[in-house]
Structure 1
Amino acid sequence: MIRWFAALMLVLFSWVPAHAADFKWMDESGTTYSLDELKGEPVLVHFWASWCPSCRAEMPAYSEWVSNHPDIKVLSVSLDQKTENAEKFLNETGIETALLLSDEIQARKLGAQALPTTIVINADGDISQIHRGPRDWKNSEFSDQLLEVLLPEVQSAPLHSGH
């Protein structure tokens, strides 16, 4: 019984993400950034990789959603080990996004355990939503759920125009 309880506690604590400020990523030039630098504004962090079939399928709709919400701070972070692979995928699909890179260790710090993963961080720097696996970015309920945290000043107004 004690062994089972200890194993359960280990599993429960192993998936709890650290505070969002601990997450780091770098841009194409190798400059490293931290979420702590963005504290005070909500952020959507989307993890993907060019080798991930679900990511490849989801990316066009995700990219369109991001384009339709230019007032939201978004970090599209690739977990590709080679920059060239991520660049090639983005070029082939015509997706325009800054190439940001991180690794599995950093992604797990934020709570990503699968790809793709979308994480919403509120203005206080706390994780408010984690969505593991592919999502329907055209679904208004899902979009509204994200926007509720990402655009808190419009919570009382309808968030989706019905497109």
Structure 2
Amino acid sequence: MKFIKKHWGNILFFAFVALLIIPQTRMPIQVFVQRLISFSPSEKKVSDRETLQDYQWNLQELEDGEINFSQSEGKVTIVNFWATWCPPCVAEMPSFQKLYDSYGNKVDFYFVTSEESEKVNRFLQKNSYSLPVFLQKYEAPKQLRSQALPTTYLISKTGEIIIDEEGAADWNSKKMRALLDNLLTE
């Protein structure tokens, strides 16, 4: 008993490390931590913004159809690259679902993954997500390419990339909603 009292801090630390090593407990812990540290995404400085030049990009719908990204030219658009195995991606999905529930009929949303459709469908059903998910079979336009997951782009009606965010963020924040409302009125 003296040993436990004397070393309880170390015991807790090693128990926590052990939980991070075990795959079944690692993912929920990482998702929880990511949600705690997620803030509203940041707008790019006006001087740093690029304008999307190429909207030609074929995407496969989750249920076997195909669309072209060019249908979103002239619209406010959100493109999110994600994966089911990525803790920051999973952490930001609830905020995206809330944003999509409010703006899905005003803003074009694209949740793009390279995973197998069966795995993605299981993930969406398990979490009751109704997000529009697309499978990436072709390379994205040059200005929408990133090596990091998640990466999210907010594109204005004029094609200006307003947000280029890597990592988890709170997409349902008041700041984000105000920005979308402003972009929709332009």
Q: Same fold by TM-score, threshold 0.5 exceeded?
A: yes
Q: Which residue number in structure 2 is paired with residue 159 of structure 1?
A: none
Q: Is the 8 A contact 2:58 2:138 kept in 1?
A: no
Matched, 1:94 2:128: yes
1:97 offset after TM fit, Å? Answer: 2.1
**Structure 2 length as normaliser, TM-score?**
0.61
Range 79-88 or range 112-121, more displaced: 112-121
1:81 offset after TM fit, Å? Answer: 2.5
Q: Which residue number in structure 1 is paired with residue 82 of structure 2?
A: 48
CA RMSD of aligned residues (A): 2.6
Distance 1:37 1:85 in 2: 27
Q: Please list, as runs of the form range in 1=range in 2, the aligned pairs for 1:27-106 lying within 5 A after superposition.
A: 27-102=61-136, 105-106=139-140
Matched, 1:111 2:145: yes
Give the AA of the match of 1:144: A
1:102 offset after TM fit, Å? Answer: 1.1
**Structure 1 length as normaliser, TM-score?**
0.69
Distance 1:88 1:107 in 2: 28
Give the gaps of 5 or more residues in structure 2: 1-49
Give the AA of the match of 2:161: I
Give the gaps of 5 or more residues in structure 1: 1-15, 154-163
Aligned-pair identity in percent equals 24
Q: Across the two proteins, how many residue pairs are aligned to each other?
A: 137
Task: State the structure with more CA Rg.
Answer: 2
Q: Which residue number in structure 2 is paired with residue 152 of structure 1?
A: 185
1:129 offset after TM fit, Å? Answer: 2.3
Q: Which residue number in structure 1 is paired with residue 55 of structure 2?
A: 21
| SS of aligned partner of 1:21 | coil
1:62-110 deviation digits (Å, cap 9, x = unpaired)? 1011112233223232313211111111011011123311158427651
Distance 2:73 2:172 in 1: 28
